[in-house]
Amino acid sequence: MCRLRAAVVLADGMEGPASHVSITPSGAGYGDAETNRLIELAAMHVVISTYAADGWDIEDVSHAKCGWDITVRRDASEMHPEVKGVSGPGPSILLTCNEYDTACSDPRWRLAVVTRALVAPSLAEYDRATAQGASMPQLYRVDLTSSTPCAAGSD
């Protein structure tokens, strides 16, 4: 594992604060909130810039929590890329339940993953079938509000 100090250049040309990032061969861990935000901003910038350079009209819908981050349109075509950024070289990401459900139901959905987002960004896109096929459940919500806890330390 290596640690690096990186700063991200934001879309407006301003440089974001430097941050420590831990990178392993499989990518970064969950990271802290500041680093995650820098990675997210860098990834969005890469994806939006790439689509804009290819002549697409871009609408940022990330605030709407609709299952994707940007709507892109060109002529009669429309796509719904979900943008994910990672600090490491591996395209291993987490999808929310909403993002996964949208991937299953929306034929325009696609996954845009930016690896090495803070140091040497590289964009790869995946169709929804590929994203679904590579997905596996990693987390379960456990609602214990109507359960009675056992005594601590009891069998």
State the total domains in the chain.
1
Does 14 have pLDDT greater than 70? no
- Give the SS3 label for residue 23: strand
User: On the CB side of 137, how many CA atoms lie within 13 Å of its CA?
Assistant: 5
Instruction: Write the DSSP symbol of residue 18.
Output: P
Identify whether 151 is part of a domain: no
Contact 113, 99 (CB under 8 A): no
Model confidence pLDDT, tens digit, residues 49-89: 999 999 999 999 999 999 999 999 999 999 999 999 999 99
**pLDDT above 50 for 1:** no
Task: Check: CB of residue 101 under 8 Å from CB of residue 67.
Answer: yes
Q: Which residues on adjacent β-strands are paired with residue 99?
A: none
Domain contains 142: no
Of the candidates 124, 142, 131, 123, the one whose C-alpha atom is nearest the C-alpha of residue 94 is 131
Residue 143 lies in a domain: no
Q: List pLDDT tens digits, range 94-115.
A: 999 999 999 999 999 999 999 9
Domain assignment of residue 42, given as a range? 2-133
Which DSSP symbol is given to 150? P
Backbone φ and ψ of 82, nearest 5°? -95, 125
Q: What is the pLDDT of residue 29?
A: 56
Comparing 113 with 4, the larger pLDDT belongs to: 113
pLDDT at 152: 85
Between 13 and 58, where is the model more confident? 58
Q: Is residue 62 included in any domain, yes or no?
A: yes
- For residue 143, pLDDT beyond 60: yes
The one-letter amino acid code at 134 reads A
Q: Which comes out higher in pLDDT, residue 125 or 23?
A: 125
